[in-house]
Structure 1
Amino acid sequence: MKIKSIFLIAGFFLASMASSQSYIQYYADVSNQVSQTNITTYLTEFENLGVKRRGTQPLEDTYNWLRNKYLGFGYTNAQFQEDTFINGGYTCKNLVVTKVGTLYPNTFVIICGHYDSIVGTGTNDNGSGIATILEVARLLQNIPTEYSIKFINFSGEEDGLVGSQHYVNSVVNATNPKLDIKLVFNLDEVGGVAGMTNNTITCERDTGTPTTNNAASNTITNELITCVGLYSPLNTYLSYAYASDYMPFEDNNEVITGFFETNETSHKHSATDLLINMDPVYNYNVAKAATGAMMHFAVAATTLDETAFTNIASVRFFPNPVKDNLYIDFGILPAKEYEIEILDVYGKKVFNNLIQSPKQLVNINISHLNRGIYLVQLSFEGATIRKKIIIK
């Protein structure tokens, strides 16, 4: 919900001028897998769900639609967190989907946007942001990232950032220790305007108080600007953050950045906030930029890393899915000591063991673990092999 026109504090920026970040071919290859058909389908389905006001069936239906989308991408119920809160006397829900990082499982890159609307269907404000987040989640589902990712779909934004404020108060600050957030990347109203030349995305940085996080936000936003230029055809404007779901995080001294359309629609908060008044090709290009940026922020694996990893040794973890006993085939690994760790979707270590001079095939009893998705880490001589497993 942004109800005033943006005042551009720094003018027009070409992405190529932002910094010296390197182009990574694999990131570009993944970004180029963004599907125009998917973006348009998400927007159409979102619009057909109706007006997503608090206390209404369309809002509940949209929440369930989102859950089903993530399940269809391969995420599991174990990765879902239903963050409920009271908004105007009604129970509302934030949907949080966590993808565990391989190197920093307890540090999170958050990509977020709101799915509620106030008058019309909110296809641009903010079905466009939701469509972008869904496509990023689809493409990154099977790609290892060093940092954990939280895909957060907020409700209550149109009522004054109620859902995101609740999440910061009741999850971020209530976690012991406090949730470690690398950055928050917010997407709000990125659908463009039909009939206009939509070739620029506004990148938003923190210029408010507290000021202690402003420099880091400026750095991250410059990196975002560079990613736009590297992985999409869009140009960039630099502006300031305001009136969307990153603000409770900003007030909490977290590092924030965001996307907002540069050609601002006149249809927000009205019955005409519809796909026909948007530019879905622009939304597609925004999704390409967001995908490249998230791979950069979360430090995604590259094909080069995977090849080098394969050259270390051929190691198998099986069966997968697994029920009671996980087997590790050590292949031709030469080390004499190995550490085996298993982490849950929140990055909590649920199993740890040292193995000395193992036989080629080792059996690990995991019958005490609950069903869900886990990350197995096998460390030896400074190297680490990681594998996602599903316990059924």
Structure 2
Amino acid sequence: MKKITTLLLISLSSFGLQAQNFIQAYQNRANMVTQTNITNNLLEFEALGVKTTGSAANTNAFNWLKNKYLSYGYSVSQISEDPFTFGGTTSSKNLIITKTGTVYPNTYVIICGHYDTITGPGVSDNGSGTSIILEAARILKDIPTEYSIKFIHFSGEEQGLQGSGHYADNVVFQNNIRQLNIKVVFNLDQVGGKIGNTNNAIKCESDQAGLTGNNAQSLAMTQQLATCTTLYSPLQTVMSNAYSSDYIPFEQNGDIITGFYENVRSFNEHTVNDTFANVDPVYVFNVGKAAVGALQHFAVATSVLGTNEVAANSLESVKIYPNPAKDYLNIELPKDIKNFNLEITDLNGRLILNKENETKINVSGFTNGAYLCTIKANDKTAVRKIIIGK
């Protein structure tokens, strides 16, 4: 994401957003975002390498995404590809997954983000947004929504919004005639945060530039996004302006846009430092909860919990502290967990430590840096990133 963001800061209290109601079913589904899935998605995204548009790694990332949706149970008929070429020779594909609405099947809520990267593996820009979109699709697959949802992963963002521009101008519109009726475009880009920053707030972006006819509607939708964030996640919100990401081609065609962007900018984007070691997975997890809550609101998900909705993995509530740690890590487990296995590995997967049923772990001999702590119990797994700093 090419972004310079010292932007419009507006107090949410001035908007009178309290009228938007909390819905317990939306919270329950937001709580189904798991730290383990977010962490694993980020790690897998990093392992795919530098995903420059048109490269083999970019194609591998596309196939990785497609296989994720198939593993969630989406059918082949729900998955479509939007190939595009730019610069005469470079080609890539956008991936689109469609979930049909029950009341307004021909009106779409789009949740989107780019999967291409430059220079580095792009774990924040934009593995973070990619991971959240995957979690939202997993959780909402069988949840009835009044509006249809399109989960879209764009390529070519880093080369000038090539993929989203192609989709907006050649799929949403064909020969200048609108083909898709869009309620809102909800973009997630660079929401990874950075270890060491205060990652307790998220920028909620609205369209206050470009075409003026959709500005008021974009601001109203972004106010709703901010309210959903405070309802369904622990994050605070900062109102900001949209700038140079995949919602812009839609805005230029008159659509209503909104989006998330990290509040404290990491400045690791487009560098070799945009790695898992420098990202804050807990922040991505919290943004994920906000996104799932907001997406349900935008698409009007059912407020009735289905009998087949899976309860959250209780092991996900494990607490590992302090983090960063110096000499000892404390493990605090849910009361129903009596026996567990704990492994600590480095980010290359090398096993550093393996313990059974120990809740105080001596890490005084560890080298400073980032590690993965994996806890297994009752056929469940929880994965956490830990930092050792002397």
What interval of TM-score do these two structures reach, taking the shorter chain for normalisation?
Answer: 0.7 to 0.9
> In the alignment, which residue of structure 2 is the partner of 1:224?
225
CA distance in 1, matches of 2:100, 2:161: 27
> In the alignment, which residue of structure 1 is the partner of 2:244?
243
Which digits, 9 at most, give the CA deviation of each residue in 1:72-110, with x for residues without a partner? 111111011100000331220000000000000000000
Q: Find the residue that maps to 1:303 and give its secondary structure.
A: coil
> In the alignment, which residue of structure 2 is the partner of 1:377?
none
CA distance in 1, matches of 2:18, 2:218: 15
- Answer whether contact 1:14 1:236 (CA < 8 A) is retained: no
TM-superposed deviation, 1:177: 5.2
Residues 19 and 220 of structure 1: is their aligned pair in 2 closer, same or farther, counting only changes over 3 Å? farther
> In the alignment, which residue of structure 2 is the partner of 1:201?
202
> In the alignment, which residue of structure 1 is the partner of 2:256?
255
Give percent identity, aligned residues only: 53
Query: After superposition, where does 1:180-199 map in structure 2 within 5 Å?
Result: 180-199=181-200
TM-score by length of 1: 0.75
- Answer whether contact 2:109 2:185 (CA < 8 A) is retained: yes
CA distance in 2, matches of 1:38, 1:2: 27
CA distance in 1, matches of 2:37, 2:15: 28
CA RMSD, aligned part only? 1.7
Letter in 2 for 1:78: S
Letter in 2 for 1:273: D
CA distance in 1, matches of 2:295, 2:181: 17
CA distance in 1, matches of 2:15, 2:40: 32
Which digits, 9 at most, give the CA deviation of each residue in 1:116-175, with x for residues without a partner? 001100110000000010000000001000000000000000000000000011100118
> In the alignment, which residue of structure 2 is the partner of 1:265?
266
TM-superposed deviation, 1:17: 5.5
- Answer whether contact 2:183 2:256 (CA < 8 A) is retained: yes
> In the alignment, which residue of structure 2 is the partner of 1:153?
153
Query: After superposition, where does 1:1-392 map in structure 2 within 5 Å?
Result: 1-4=1-4, 6-13=5-12, 18-88=17-87, 89-174=89-174, 178-303=179-304
CA distance in 1, matches of 2:49, 2:273: 12
Letter in 2 for 1:283: V
Which digits, 9 at most, give the CA deviation of each residue in 1:249-279, with x for residues without a partner? 0000000000000010121101110011110
Letter in 1 for 2:147: Y
Q: Find the residue that maps to 2:209 and give its secondary structure.
A: coil
How many residue pairs get aligned? The number is 305
Which digits, 9 at most, give the CA deviation of each residue in 1:5-37, with x for residues without a partner? x12313454799534100000000010111000
Residues 256 and 209 of structure 1: is their aligned pair in 2 closer, same or farther, counting only changes over 3 Å? same
* 4+ runs deviating over 2 angstroms: 10-19, 175-178
- Answer whether contact 1:129 1:187 (CA < 8 A) is retained: yes
Letter in 2 for 1:109: V
CA distance in 1, matches of 2:186, 2:14: 18
CA distance in 1, matches of 2:79, 2:178: 20
- Answer whether contact 1:14 1:229 (CA < 8 A) is retained: no
CA distance in 1, matches of 2:103, 2:112: 22
Which digits, 9 at most, give the CA deviation of each residue in 1:338-382, with x for residues without a partner? xxxxxxxxxxxxxxxxxxxxxxxxxxxxxxxxxxxxxxxxxxxxx
TM-superposed deviation, 1:197: 1.8
> In the alignment, which residue of structure 1 is the partner of 2:318?
none
CA distance in 2, matches of 1:48, 1:301: 37
Which has the higher Rg, Structure 1 or Structure 2?
1
CA distance in 2, matches of 1:3, 1:28: 31
Letter in 1 for 2:154: F
Q: Find the residue that maps to 1:237 and give its secondary structure.
A: strand
CA distance in 2, matches of 1:142, 1:18: 29
Letter in 2 for 1:118: I
Which digits, 9 at most, give the CA deviation of each residue in 1:28-85, with x for residues without a partner? 0010111000000000000000000122111000000000101111111101110000
CA distance in 2, matches of 1:41, 1:172: 33
- Answer whether contact 1:15 1:227 (CA < 8 A) is retained: no
CA distance in 1, matches of 2:136, 2:14: 21
Residues 302 and 170 of structure 1: is their aligned pair in 2 closer, same or farther, counting only changes over 3 Å? same
Q: Find the residue that maps to 1:204 and give its secondary structure.
A: strand
- Answer whether contact 2:83 2:94 (CA < 8 A) is retained: yes
Letter in 1 for 2:120: G
CA distance in 2, matches of 1:246, 1:55: 21
Q: Find the residue that maps to 1:170 and give its secondary structure.
A: helix
Which digits, 9 at most, give the CA deviation of each residue in 1:271-317, with x for residues without a partner? 1100111100000000000000000000001217x79xxxxxxxxxx
CA distance in 2, matches of 1:181, 1:148: 9
Letter in 2 for 1:291: V
Q: Find the residue that maps to 1:253 and give its secondary structure.
A: coil
Q: Which runs of 5+ in 2 are unaligned?
A: 308-390
- Answer whether contact 1:206 1:214 (CA < 8 A) is retained: yes
Letter in 2 for 1:140: L
